[in-house]
Structure 1
Amino acid sequence: MLCVYIFLVLALSRVGLSSLQDKQTDFGLKVFYQLAQESTDKNVVLSPYGVASVLAMAQLGANGNTSKALTTAMGFSLQERGMLRQQWLLQRGLSTEEGVEIANGVMVERKMNLEKRYHRTLAKAFKTNPHQVDFTKPDQAISVINAWVSDHTAGLIPEFLQSGSLTDQTRLILLNALHFQGLWKIPFDPKLTQERMFHCANGSTVPVHMMRITNRFNYGEFVTADGVDYDVIEVPYEGDLLSMLLVSPFEPEVPLSTLSADLSSQKIRQWRTELRNVRRQLALPRFTLDSEVNLKTALVNMGLGDIFNPATADFTRITCKSTFLLNVHLSGVTVVPEVQQVIYQSESWRFDP
């Protein structure tokens, strides 16, 4: 088992924008830590931006104690003055990077009227307008949603939702899709790929195909608050604005949860400040990761249990006609072939009466 966290590292100059990005990253990392705790026997792939964005769309429709709970757990609120524009600037900044595509979608029951203010705030913050769907025909609605996800992930997630995952009671779906495809700045030579032993998290070893390269990388050695030594190496993509940070403990028996508990936007900034350009040999397993998780348990553990309770959840800023029950679902895949890397992820948040 190899638990992996993959993130995009971007340098955005605006102070307010950087602050929002840090808060969204911190929230996403807290969600990731919860998922990693629950998934000790499988890989986990997560987009902090995707989780934060789609939950922010739900936050825009929350009212009363539900709004307060979401703001407390997330560490920011798009309902505050000026935040809608900051969210739009952040999304635009990410989307303009070469190879990155981000899309947010809202699928709404065709006979349901959304609050005009909710409609406007979605457009301002996420540049998205609701798509009308006939949820009384669940299989047809699933086809529409799967087509949307496929279109925004270069066809790499053709069946995001399976038959039976929706009911005729579903009234609204919030979606986020992130797709990235880029070439490594320094490509791996396929001729150097060899089979070597890989140390799994459960203590076993398995033979895998290891890509190898010797070159200059940004590299650093660090220690957690609990005294665990680990190192970080940065592998850049073409253009140098995007990179993959690989983090691993020195000792193979150290659980990865020890490192994931220490993740934060501040920690990532520290890494990037203290990394030094040195010559290193990098051996990276050739891998494909599929990750599908239900976020409900993670969010409940973070104090958001009431948003899943129809007696306490208040999403009347979406529509005042019904009480909604929130369900969440996430699916993502990461592919790392010899010379390029692809990340794509999609999430959905379902509201049922």
Structure 2
Amino acid sequence: MGYAAIKASLVPVALLILSACATMPAETSSTDSDADIERHDGAMALLPVLDAEAGPQKNMVFSPASINLAFGLLYEGAGGETRAQLAKLLPPPEDPLGYASNKDGVEVKVANALFLDRDFRFRDSYVAATRREYGAEAVKVDFSLPAPTAKIINDWASAATNGLIPQVITPSAIADDMIAVLANALYFEGLWETKLMGRREHPFLFGDGTERPFTFVTDDFDTPYARHEGWEAIRLPYRNNRYAMDILMPAKREVMSEAPSASFIEDMKRRLDGADDVFVSVEIPQFETDYDQGLIPALKAIGLTLPFETGRANFTAMVEPGQAPVKVSDVRHVTKLQVYGEGTKAAAVTTISIVTTGARFEPRKPVPFRADRPFVMVLRDLERDAVLFIGRIADPQPFEPEVEEP
């Protein structure tokens, strides 16, 4: 095998890894169109846009699964044309709770959460639907206090990703009119079926055309291998064989200008599905990479516009009648990937920030009621309409209750 840079996709967790040091085939073909891929996994449509934004010299790693799950939370609160547009471009995933797994050396964790402003009224039906379909926990927060609210969200993200992603939002990103953050976290940790325990130093061709020494992990074993239209690919299974990493790279060792299409990647997957095992000397770089990207420009590029438009975004299934209208103000996607001799760790967090539009949202002001003068108390049985105790309190005595152990 050559020592060219790699491009790999994690299947079926759907974490796509695009290294900046690979090449594009002169031409590609596939029996399926890109539209077929997009219908199967809507967020895969973001691949060419995010790849172009990153450019050939930078890594770009995103999780279609995490994005789809986060937008599933948004879909549950959408109505009218906004809901229809989401259903067409980023349809809610089937069996969203089915991603989670912990068996035979592979753990996949999925967490969903709604961070909701304590003073804004959300429909109980929306909270119930996201809990039922996505296992989402609803957490009441105070967005008027940016620092503690950011800490609550970041602590959740860190716990959900086993510490791989400790921060997804800063206090400065919390706007005055923010009323919700919808969040998904996806964590993968898997041991290779065949560990790559050898280590070698080889030059790696980076996206800027330079070569520098790099550590590769290596071993020789039988694994699915395929060649097609100037590309070669292998499949590296994890121990339970439900998950695998497909690594695709061009046959020629040169810098890649852009990623291949989603349909070409799917075509190579099918070829690996049907490929015979071949005895391969596998050498891959041992590396980690981070990615943090706002997704609204890319989402607009694939045609998703209504959730972000003042006056057109429809989230009436999320908020109570009489509340200010709302829209999506930010979509943030953060990932981290570690590939090493024993296996892989990968994590993604997708957050969708929601703000009010039109009239500025003002938190409800409580009516002050301080019993700091003589008062009358009535302890009632409301069901029997009976008064159990009644009294006038003019000389209250200090009291500290005894705390009973649970």
TM-score bucket (shorter structure)? 0.7 to 0.9
Q: Distance in 1 between matches of 2:271 and 2:149?
A: 44
| TM superposition shift of 1:317 | 1.2
**C-alpha distance in structure 2 between counterparts of 1:95 and 1:106, whole Å:** 22
* Inter-CA distance 3–50: structure 2 relative to 1 (3 Å threshold): farther
Partners of 2:154 and 2:167 in 1: how far apart? 5
Could you tell me which of 332, 337, 346 is aligned with 2:335? Answer: 332
Question: Cα distance 1:6–1:322, how it changes in 2: closer, same or farther (>3 A)?
Answer: farther
- What residue identity is the alignment partner of 1:236? P
Partner Cα distance (1:293, 1:24) in 2? 23
Which structure's residues are more often helix, by fraction? 1
Q: 1:315 to 1:179 in 2, by over 3 A?
A: same
Q: Deviations over 1:265-303 (max 9, x none)?
A: x53651343322000111101111111111111101011
CA drift of 1:24 comes to 7.1
Q: Is the 8 A contact 1:7 1:47 kept in 2?
A: no
Query: Which residue of the partner structure matches residue 252 of structure 1?
Result: 253
> Given residue 214 of structure 1, which amino acid in structure 2 is its aligned partner?
D
The ranges of structure 1 where at least 4 consecutive aligned residues each deviate by more than 3 angstroms after the TM superposition are 1-6, 22-25, 93-98, 260-264
Whole-angstrom CA distance in 1 between matches of 2:309 and 2:262: 28
Contact 2:100–2:108 under 8 Å retained in 1:
yes
d(CA) in 1 for partners of 2:123, 2:224: 49
The answer on 1:131 being equivalent to 2:133 is: no
AA aligned opposite 1:160: V
Query: Which residue of 2 is the match for residue 30 of structure 1?
Result: 45
Distance 1:4 1:256, change over 3 A: farther
Determine if contact 2:115/2:140 at 8 Å carries over to the other structure: yes
How far off its partner does 1:312 sit?
1.7
Q: Distance in 1 between the 2:303 and 2:38 partners?
A: 17
Aligned AA for 1:334?
L
Q: 1:256 to 1:100 in 2, by over 3 A?
A: farther
Question: What does residue 114 of structure 1 align with?
Answer: 122
What CA deviation, in whole Å up to 9, does each residue of 1:162-199 have, x standing for no partner?
2312123211001111111111111111xx31221112
Cα pair distance change 1:203/1:261, threshold 3 Å: farther
- Deviation of the 1:324 alpha carbon: 1.7
Which residue of structure 2 aligns with residue 323 of structure 1? 325
The count of aligned residue pairs is 324
**Distance between the aligned counterparts of 1:37 and 1:272, measured in 2?**
27
String of CA shifts for 1:213-269, please: whole Å, max 9, x gaps.
11111111123xxxxx111100111111111110111123362634244356x5365
Percent identity of equivalent pairs: 22
Give the whole-Å Cα distance in 2 for the aligned partners of 1:217 and 1:256.
Answer: 29
Which residue of structure 1 aligns with residue 210 of structure 2? 204
Assess, with a 3 A threshold, how the Cα gap between structure 1 residues 318 and 5 changes in structure 2: closer, same or farther.
farther
CA distance in 2, matches of 1:125, 1:107: 17
Is residue 99 from structure 1 mapped to residue 107 from structure 2 by the alignment?
Answer: yes
Aligned to 2:185: 177
CA distance in 2, matches of 1:310, 1:3: 42
Question: SS in structure 1 opposite 2:289?
Answer: strand
Letter in 1 for 2:325: T
Matching of residues 117-266 of structure 1 within 5 Å: 117-189=125-197, 192-223=198-229, 229-253=230-254, 255=256, 257-263=258-264, 266=266
Over aligned residue pairs, what C-alpha RMSD do you find? 2.3
- Cα distance in 1 for partners of 2:5, 2:97 equals 30
**2:137 aligned counterpart, secondary structure:** coil
User: For residue 35 of structure 1, what is the amino acid of its counterpart?
Assistant: L
User: C-alpha distance in 1, partners of 2:186/2:334?
Assistant: 11
Partners of 1:175 and 1:122 lie apart in 2 by 11
CA shift at 1:150, angstroms? Answer: 0.9
TM-score (norm 1): 0.85
Question: Paired residue for 1:58?
Answer: 74
Distance 2:154 2:340 in 1: 25
Aligned equivalent of 1:47, options 54, 59, 63: 63
For residues 40 and 347 of structure 2, the distance between their equivalents in structure 1, rounded to whole angstroms, comes to 17
Q: Which AA in structure 1 matches 2:337?
A: T
AA in 2 matched with 1:298: A
Give the unaligned 5+ runs of structure 2.
Answer: 14-36, 357-406
Q: How does 1:250-289 map to 2 (within 5 A)?
A: 250-253=251-254, 255=256, 257-263=258-264, 266-267=266-267, 269-289=269-289
User: What are the superposed Cα offsets for residues 14-54 of structure 1, whole Å, 9 maximum, x if unpaired?
Assistant: xxxxxxxx767531211122111211131111111111111
Distance 2:199 2:234 in 1: 19
Distance 1:72 1:350, change over 3 A: same
Contact 1:24 1:48 in 2 (8 A): no
Q: Find the structure with the greater CA-based Rg.
A: 2
Please state how far the C-alpha of 1:91 moved relative to its aligned partner: 2.1
Equivalents in 1 of 2:204, 2:312: separation in Å? 48
| Pair 277,336 (structure 1): closer, same or farther in 2 beyond 3 Å | same
